[in-house]
Structure formats: structure tokens, C-alpha cells
Amino acid sequence: MGILPALGEISKGLVERVGSLLVAFQAFHSPAISTTRTLSPSGSFNCRHPRVLIVAGHSADPNAIGLNTGVTEAYLKGAPATTINGFTPVGVTNPLGRIDTTGHLVDNLSYTLGRHQLKIGGEYRRANLDVFYDTDKRGRFLFDGARGPWSSSTASGNLKSMADFLAGYTSNASGAIIVRGQLQRDYIQNSFDFWIHDNWQLSPTLNLNFGVRYTYHGPLSDKKDTLSTFVPGKGFVSSLYPRDLNNFMPRLGFAWTPQRNGKTVVRGSFGFFNDVPPLNFLVANTGMPNGGSAGVHANPGGAAPVYTIALSSINLTTGTPIFGAASPRPPFGAFAINPDFATPYVMNMNLNVQQQLTSSTLLQVGYVGSQGRKLSFLRNINAPLPGTTGTVAARRPFAAAYPELAAINELASNVNSSYHSMQTQLRQTMAKGFTGVLNYTWGHAIDFGSDVRNNLPTNSYDLTNEKGNASFDTRHNLTAFMSYEVPVFTKALPLLMKGWQLNSLITAYGGQPLNLLAGTNISTSGDGRDPVNLVGNPFSGVVQPTGTRSVRYFNAAAFAAPAAGTFGNIGRNALYGPGFGALDFSVFKTTAITERVSTQFRLEVFNLTNRTNWANPGTSLSNRAAFGIMTNTRNGGGAPGIGVGEPRNIQLALKFVF
């Protein structure tokens, strides 16, 4: 017997047992009410097509021009990733690819019992991911202007960074990084879900729905047992994190009409929902800014060690091996998963009132919120201890026990988030040819880090300053759509006078947060997240530049670099950038040719007022020339297109409808 037929037999037995209990309940609850049962076992197998990216153009050999990175593999030949602060990064994209294969076994039972609609089901999933991210295999270099004798000069930050590059002075914060070792892995994860839900029509004016879902996401593993995590006191171990068996997620919702067939409806819900940490939290496809390893596949321990070599304050000289000769030289970056790592979850809640104002007008006002718990967060548990003296290596907490390790980025589930919003909608259906919808949302999202993969904290030993506005937080959101079908005022010229329609779309949004950073390793943490000091009013005394189309958004003189070895005082995402919006307008003319064939002529104008929607200004204090300056629109200043940030665009179209 195959798996699916066997599952069907098992489910059929379960149906009989559950059914007998429900029938007994029915007899007690309402003996005259009939029941229906539906069983739907199923299974599936999904394979995502392979995605492999190996960029051509490997003629550039850094070793041939004296930049001795030690890379010899033909497919890795090419320019290493190079960042000069204030300039666009350059370098060939590292090879990467993945094949995702997932098998599902699903069984659902639906059971109608009088006023109850019960649903019981379960799902088993086995995911197999063949992944390789050759992150930093070509090498990565950073020049930030903090090394040369000109670092204390009054020259602009980008000029000092360029001077460091020309002199071969890499940053004192992991300025030269390379990865050596095999990064390809075959990952496996098993998951299981079970749910039971009841939709109960308690009365003609009140409906309740409630239930519970249990979720289990097994720990990540690989076929050859080559993954490892760093555990203080134990070194590198293959058991990544413990199983989490406590994920029971209840849900409750209701819909209530105070008066039968009335014009008011009140709805509300509250529920717990599990999240799944993406693979990229554990296996990043980008390098860590502090030189820590990219994930559990890239640790310098276990059955297949991978060495992330991160060097600081080195001088590049022609022909000299940068990262050592035959064998990798420490210190190495590492990756850890907190032993208490657990499955994150979110509590979603909402309460809204819908009121019919007229036969064609509807108003809805409500609260929507969420509370995230046990969210994933990355910090460096081996960062140099703030306020201590001595070399960077000596100031690391694990310097004595593990002298060969530098940055150790640990993934933990120890932070929270919150979102609160008021959401309103006014909807006007067809009334004398007019249709319109107006939506406005005021919301506020707070978290400790909106990008887990590369979002290291300012100070890994004190997360107080990390709680702030989420990077995607937008306080005000307004959209309005209006459509008007122009009436026919005369019977003359019917082909010309009939079928006109006017449409308009208005969008308006508040600005998004700005995270102001020093851009250099002032604190000596090496994590690249040093904030600036706020010393004045950013929006006072703003003087616009001359001879350029750029616009100054805030006064750069209101900020200063913190003292050496300290962190700045401004909070994460403390300021907001410029708001943005657009007015789009269109005219449609529909002409009937036959009963089944018609044409529609469309004149569409996007950003009718040609508003300039600026992108956020520069936020790195080390690049004074761009700090606080808006130089581009939101869509990057590319070819004209459609969307907020683009200039006015006019589009003509003729459609045949049949």
C-alpha cells in the first residue's frame, strides 16, 4: 500500500472516531440537525528549478597585477569586491545557486454540525535545499579614509577614502576579508503542523471562529553532518539548536451585528502565529561587515571547516600574499546559534467597526496591531569590550580560550517588535456615475533590527540603543481612487458622446527612517554600526547648495563624530526622510462597434503635477560631501517608468475588447 492510500485509511479511521463523538454531541445539542463530512487527503512534491549564477568575465586576475589574494580556481578569477567610502562599490558577483525540493503530505477533515463548521487537518513537509553561496571567495576590501596621515585633515571623507585606496591602506575594521573552503551544502528540515478550527454561527447576529494550530519546525541539518555552531566552553559542535516543541498557537475571531439586518458590523480577532527563520538567517548569501563567518556552513570547525580570514589595518604591497600562503592564517570569523534559540511568533490583533452611511457609502474605522516575540537577532559575542584598553585582539572576551577567533556573530531569539495602527476606509460605490475609495492609515512599527542578516547592533553588549523605529516604518499612508462615468448630455453624435470615463489616483506617504552612522570604526568594535553624536537641531540653519540640482535635507553641522573608543548618542532610525506621493490621472473612451466588440482609447498621465519625490539623503558622516544631501529620486534616477519617484509620464493606448 502506498503512502497516500495508507494515509487515507488512517484518516478514515480517525473520521469514524471523531464522527461518533460529534454525532453524540449533535444529539445533545440539536437532535434534528443533519451533518455532513468531507475528507480530503492529499500529497505533493515540489521542485524549484535550479538557480545558478556564475558571472562571466574572469579575465581580470588580481594576482597578475600584484594583488595577491591567493585565488587560483578558474571560476573564481575576477575582481574582488572593493568599497571606497563615498564611491560605488565594484567587483564581480560571487558564484551562487540553489535547488529547493519540498515534499508535502496533507490531510483535511471538514465537518458541518448544525451551526458549527469544523476543520481538522495536518501537514508534514520535508525540505531539501542544495545551496552554494561562494560569499567572499574572491575577497573583499574596504577603504574608509581612517588609516592614512590625512585622516585628521579637513578634506572630504570620499577624498580621504580614495587616498587610502591609492596608498593601499585598508580599513581598521576588517578591511580585507576572504573565505577559503567548500561552501556547498545539502540542507534538510522536517516540519509538521496540526490544526483544529470551528466556525460557530451562535446567533443570526453573532459569528464566532476559534481554533488552535500546532507547529513544529525541526532543526536544520545536512546530509554529511558538516554544519557546526560555536558554543562557548565547547568550541564547534554539530548540534545547531534544540527542538522547540512548545508552539501551540490559539486564534479567536468574531463578527457581530448589533441589530439584525442593521447597518453596523463590528469585527475583531486575536491570534498567535509562528514564523520560520529563513535559511538566509543561518546561511547568509552576503558577507558579514565585521568579518564574522556567513553562517553555520562557513565555520572554521567541524567535519568541513571553512575559514573566514578578516584582517584589519594592513598595507597592501605588490606581490605580497595578503591572506597567508598555503594554509589560512588566523584570526578567523565564526558563527554561533544561541543554545536557547526558539521559534519566533507574532500576536496579531484587530478591531474594526463598519458603518453603512447611505445606500452607496460605507465607512470603516479600526485598530490593527501586532506584537512579535522571540524574534531573530544577530550580535557579535566576541566584539572588543568597550571601555577596555590594549589591542583589539586582547580585548575580545574569548581571546584567551580561543585566540584563533575574531568576530563571532551569534543568532539569538531574544528581541521583540510591535506595530500599532489606525486604519480607515471610506468607500463610495456607483452613485450618479461616481465611484471612490479613500484609505488612510496611521501606523508605527518598532523593533530592534529590521534586517537580521547584516543588521549588527551598535553595541553587542548593550541593546538599549537598538530599540527604535523599524527601517520600513511609515507613519502616514493615504491613497484615494476616484472614477466618474461622464453622463450623456445629448443624443446627438452618440458614438462620440457615449462611453467617457475620468479616473484619478492619489498617493501620499510620510518619510521613512534615517539611520545616521559615523562610517568609520571609531568605537573599535569593528561591527560597522557606530552612530553619530547629535549636537544641534538638524532642521535649523539648513543652507541649500548652489550650482547643483541636489537639495540639502538636514544641517550636517548638527552632527559630530563621537570621541575615539565611544559610541554616538543618537538612536537607531531617529530621524525621518522626506515624504513622497503622486497624482495620476486618466481618461477612457469606450466605443461599441458591435454587441461583442468594442474599442477603448486611454490617455494616462502618471505624476500629473511632476512632483519631485526625493530618495533619502546620505547618512554616513565620513562622506561629508553627501551627508544630508538628496541627489536622487526614489526609483534611483534610471530610465523613466511608472511609480512614485518617476517624472511625469504620458501614455496613450488603444484596446480592442471582444
pLDDT one-digit tens code per residue, 504-555: 999 999 999 999 999 989 999 989 899 999 999 999 999 999 989 899 999 9
Say whether pLDDT at 346 is over 70: yes
User: Is 461 a member of any domain?
Assistant: yes
Residue 30: pLDDT band (50, 70, 90) is very low
Taking the alpha carbons of 468, 473, 474, 479 in that order, is the dihedral positive or negative?
Answer: negative
Tell me the pairing of strands 405-431 and 332-337: parallel
Kindly list the distances between the CA atom of residue 52 and the CA atoms of 48, 179, 284, in Å, as whole numbers in the listed order. 12, 20, 16
User: Is 160 a member of any domain?
Assistant: no
Say whether pLDDT at 420 is over 70: yes
Distance CA 13, CA 107 (A): 13
Nearest alpha-carbon partner for 40 in 102, 95, 122, 112: 122
Each residue of 31-83: pLDDT tens digit?
334 444 455 556 666 666 566 666 555 667 787 778 888 888 888 888 899 99
User: What does pTM read for this prediction?
Assistant: 0.85
Say whether pLDDT at 1 is over 70: no
Domain ranges, residue 647: 457-658
User: Is 465 a member of any domain?
Assistant: yes
Residue 365: pLDDT band (50, 70, 90) is very high
Poorest-pLDDT segment among 56-60, 223-227, 332-336, 451-455: 56-60
User: Is 275 a member of any domain?
Assistant: no
Partner residues linked to 439 by β-bridges: 425, 479
Look at the block and give the residue holding cell 480530503.
40
Look at the block and give the residue holding cell 503542523.
193
Distance CA 220, CA 242 (A): 10
User: Is 470 a member of any domain?
Assistant: yes
Kindly list the distances between the CA atom of residue 324 and the CA atoms of 302, 347, 575, in Å, as whole numbers in the listed order. 22, 51, 44
385 Cβ contact partners less than 8 Å away, ≥ 6 residues apart: 395, 396, 397, 461
Nearest alpha-carbon partner for 354 in 434, 424, 412, 254: 424
Q: How confident is the model at residue 583, as a pLDDT?
A: 95
Q: For 611-626, give one letter per residue: b (16+ CB within 10 A) or e.
A: bebbbbbbbbbbbbeb
Say whether pLDDT at 4 is over 50: no
Poorest-pLDDT segment among 196-200, 226-230, 231-235, 284-288: 284-288
Mean pLDDT within 233-237: 95
What is the CB neighbour count within 10 angstroms for residue 38? Answer: 11
The structural domain count of the chain equals 1
Residue 27: pLDDT band (50, 70, 90) is very low
CA dihedral 558, 559, 560, 565 (to 10 degrees): 140
Q: How confident is the model at residue 40, as a pLDDT?
A: 56
Classified as helix, coil or strand, 112 is strand
Each residue of 627-646: pLDDT tens digit?
999 998 887 545 556 677 78
Each residue of 279-323: pLDDT tens digit?
888 888 788 889 999 999 999 998 899 999 988 888 998 878 888
76 Cβ contact partners less than 8 Å away, ≥ 6 residues apart: 58, 95, 134, 137, 138
Q: Are residues 461 and 481 in contact, defined by beta-carbon separation less than 8 angstroms?
A: no
As given in the structure block, the three cell numbers for residue 615 are: 530618495
User: Is 103 a member of any domain?
Assistant: no
Amino acid at 77: K
User: Is 438 a member of any domain?
Assistant: no
Residue 480: pLDDT band (50, 70, 90) is very high
Residue 563: pLDDT band (50, 70, 90) is very high
261 Cβ contact partners less than 8 Å away, ≥ 6 residues apart: none
The mean pLDDT value of the chain amounts to 87
Q: What percent of the chain has pLDDT over 70?
A: 90
